[in-house]
Amino acid sequence: MKVYLDNNATTIVDPHVFAEMEPFFVQKYGNPNSLHAFAGETHPHIKTAMEKIYAGIRANREDSVVITSCATESNNWVLKSIYFEYILTGRKNHIIISEVEHPSIIATAKFIESLGCKVTYLPINAEGLIEAQSVRDAITDKTAIVSVMWANNETGAIFPVQEIGEICKEYNVLFHTDAVQAIGKIPVSVQEFNVDYLTFSAHKFHGPKGVGALYMKKGKELTPLLHGGSQMGGYRSGTLNVPGIIGMGKAIEQAIDALDFEMSEIRELRDNFEDALLEIPDTFVVTPRKYRTPNTTLISFRGIEGESMLWDLNRAGIGASTGSACASEDLEANSVMEAIGADEDLAHTAIRFSLSRYTTQEELDYTLEVVKKAVKRLREISSSYAYTPSGHQSGLTAH
């Protein structure tokens, strides 16, 4: 049996999304910006897809939603443009991010830090959550922007973006949120929250890879990262990725339609699976479920190296992860577990299972059996487990 439980890394393209994209490779391939009939075949479809994308995040017509090549580009764009507009010009000298942002934010922040910008890295608490008060405490009159993700890719922890947005408004500081892991899992509306910029990416909600977007509130438009032609209103030059945009439109429409299912059925599947995993002794989940996206479980198995567990899972046809796919080639401890202050042993033992609306009970039953066997096998050969009292030196508690 093959089981895919790494949906926070990427998702299968929904067959309806694929069907909608397909004609735009070989049959209708015109550049929508050209002035002939070939362009006319694609242009209206782009318009419809963009309407769906606006509706997907509840953006107003006057706001800008700009299609990029990925969320990494969107995140780079925001911080680098802020650097050019506010830091380099001396208007401001400080930005705030959380210490568990995706590498596309952390690495970009570190880059602009190396150019002289001050960066505050907000800590997470023992439950893996950001406290809104920490944003208030960090803001100074030189702060240009706060960038805090809507939901964390590793734990699924949902951060208090509504409160953070309000604080930013109060202090007149820009607010960006990386909503890559929130869309299609929990309701996301830029109208209800004070959000100036919002990043998202189609391949995380059953759309194609290589299509991201950046929402910019009216009046808060950023300097482009890619200069060139007048595509995307001049905000992002480069010939439009027609099939990709059409795919993102269909995918977000479907993700919104499936939201209730995700928040009820998928949540129930995840909860039952997690309950069963937690029956295995010495297992830990950090973030309480009520603060988590419905599809994600990051669980530590004391005494078991995460990569060893992945090996056993992989041999049984199961795809899971030890954390962010972007960091998985080096055998580093899970960064969120480290940020929480988990001891070395636990930080190296975290496995992420992320479900999707395609995940079935049968797949999870199978996975559970494989995990149980792997735990038994790996603990038997573990040099650390036998010596570890089944106590909780890390301060973590089993949920």
Given the rule CB under 6 A, which residues bind ligand PLP?
70-72, 102, 104, 149, 153, 178, 180-181, 201, 212
Residue closer to ligand PLP (CB basis): 96 or 378: 96
For residue 149, the minimal CB distance to ligand PLP (Å) is 5
For residue 212, the minimal CB distance to ligand PLP (Å) is 5
Give CA 395 to chain center in angstroms: 27
For residue 394, the minimal CB distance to ligand PLP (Å) is 25
Catalytic residue among 70, 117, 168, 326: 326
Helix runs in 236-381, H state only: 242-257, 259-261, 267-278, 306-315, 335-340, 344-347, 361-380
Q: Are 286 and 298 in contact (CB under 8 A)?
A: yes
Residue closer to ligand PLP (CB basis): 83 or 200: 200
Instruction: Quote the CA–CA distance of 386 and 380 in Å, as a whole number.
Output: 8
Residue closer to ligand PLP (CB basis): 154 or 282: 154
Instruction: Quote the CA–CA distance of 100 and 378 in Å, as a whole number.
Output: 29
For residue 209, the minimal CB distance to ligand PLP (Å) is 7
Instruction: Quote the CA–CA distance of 177 and 164 in Å, as a whole number.
Output: 10
Does 326 qualify as catalytic in the annotation?
A: yes
How many Å is the Cα radius of gyration of the chain?
A: 22
Residue closer to ligand PLP (CB basis): 104 or 108: 104
Beta strand ranges found along 24-182 (DSSP E): 64-68, 94-98, 118-122, 143-147, 174-178
Structure tokens at 276: 């069963």
Catalytic center residues: 326
